[in-house]
Amino acid sequence: MTSNERVRRVLTFEEVDRIPIENGFEGELQRKYPSDVAVPPYRYPAGKSWGEENKKGSRMDIWGCLWEAGEDGVCGEVKDAPLRAGWEGLKNFRPPWGVLEGADLSPVNPACAESEQFMISMWDSMPNPFERMQHLRGSEQLFLDLAYLEPEIYQLRDMLHEYFLKQMAMWAETDIDAVHISDDWGAQQSLLISPDLWRTFFKPLYRDYCDAAHAHGKYVLMHSDGYIRDIIPDLIEIGVNAINAQLFCMPIEALAEEFAGRICFWGEIDRQRLLTSATPQEVREAVRRVAGAFLKRKRTGIVGQCFWGKDHRIENCEAVYDEWSKV
């Protein structure tokens, strides 16, 4: 069974010989635990962006948002949002269409043809309308916008949606296996907005992204941090195939009882405490907890994965992949 076949089978809830992993680490950890998942090479032009992401200091992104990071290893915060001062700037604001027009995806198809891995698009090539609206308006102002729902917030949403649909179409027309959607919707114990508002204002956007991907035979992977249990049925309904969520913010066993076999769970292991300060044995027990919850009926429907952060212990990350290899 190839890596590509293995991941496809867990996405369709068929038995696999072993649980596939997504291992984004390099060097020895990648050699010991080869990833079943990979990202093909591609190139986006810089546009108006400058500076280096995840490095201390200032940087500008392609949308004109000025970021400031106080230390290496973090993305930082938006300190100057183009539309924070008011809606006056919306009249002259335009998405960075030049970035999409100048994107070079020509390396993607050859990389897919040469690899037995499951190929996915990555972070800077996926729709994230909620987070992008926060970056452009500022988080506090955006929550006020969503409370009042004045015409301008719909105008901004639809402008971004047009851009992200174009980006989704570009990637869906390549030979990759799956596309990404990403928006962090959860706080520690609840959604950041009411489920009803989410369903009326944002859910139609994600449905369009899923429809565009599925029309080209692609799977859809969505990343969303925090407590998102309330909207998982909606994600299933609109066609999200796999969810990369913070399982340890939610009741894991209840998630498995309700959703196993309906949506694939793509990782992860708790990065708020376990990967930063627990022992490798505690991390192994956490992997076993996830496996025990989701693999009760058959060995499928989950991908082993964890994230690397600046405070994470490498021995704990290794324990994640080593334990998944034994499940």
Question: Does the residue 48 lie in any domain?
Answer: no
The predicted pLDDT at position 324 comes to: 96
Mean predicted confidence (pLDDT) in 72-90:
92
Question: Does the residue 189 lie in any domain?
Answer: yes
Question: Does the residue 145 lie in any domain?
Answer: yes
What whole-number distance in Å separates Cα of residue 245 and Cα of residue 249? 9
Element at 77 (helix H, strand E) = strand 77-80
Question: Does the residue 309 lie in any domain?
Answer: yes
pLDDT reading at 125 higher than 80: no
Question: Does the residue 58 lie in any domain?
Answer: no
Report CA-CA distances (Å) from 69 to 53, 66, 80, 175.
9, 10, 13, 36
Mean predicted confidence (pLDDT) in 289-295:
96
Tens of pLDDT, residue by residue over 242-287, are 999 999 999 999 999 999 999 999 988 999 999 999 999 999 999 9
Backbone angles phi, psi at 37, to 5 degrees: -125, 145
Question: Does the residue 10 lie in any domain?
Answer: yes
Mean predicted confidence (pLDDT) in 88-109:
96
Mean predicted confidence (pLDDT) in 64-71:
95
CATH number of the domain bearing residue 126: 3.20.20.210
Q: Name the domain count of the chain.
A: 1
Question: Does the residue 81 lie in any domain?
Answer: no
The predicted pLDDT at position 188 comes to: 92
CB atoms within 10 A of CB 77: 12
Question: Does the residue 128 lie in any domain?
Answer: yes
Q: Considering the chain, what percentage of its residues have pLDDT values greater than 70?
A: 99
Mean predicted confidence (pLDDT) in 34-47:
95
What whole-number distance in Å separates Cα of residue 90 and Cα of residue 300? 47
The predicted pLDDT at position 309 comes to: 85
The predicted pLDDT at position 122 comes to: 82
Mean predicted confidence (pLDDT) in 118-131:
89
Pair type for strands 242-245 and 21-22:
unpaired
pLDDT reading at 123 higher than 80: no
pLDDT reading at 296 higher than 90: no
> Which residue range(s) make up the domain with 173?
3-43+116-326
Tens of pLDDT, residue by residue over 304-326, are 999 888 889 999 999 999 999 99
Residue among 111, 92, 93, 88 at smallest CA distance from 42: 111
Residues 6 or more apart whose Cβ sits within 8 Å of residue 288: 323, 327
pTM: 0.95
What whole-number distance in Å separates Cα of residue 220 and Cα of residue 19? 19
Mean pLDDT lowest among 88-102, 120-134, 243-257: 120-134
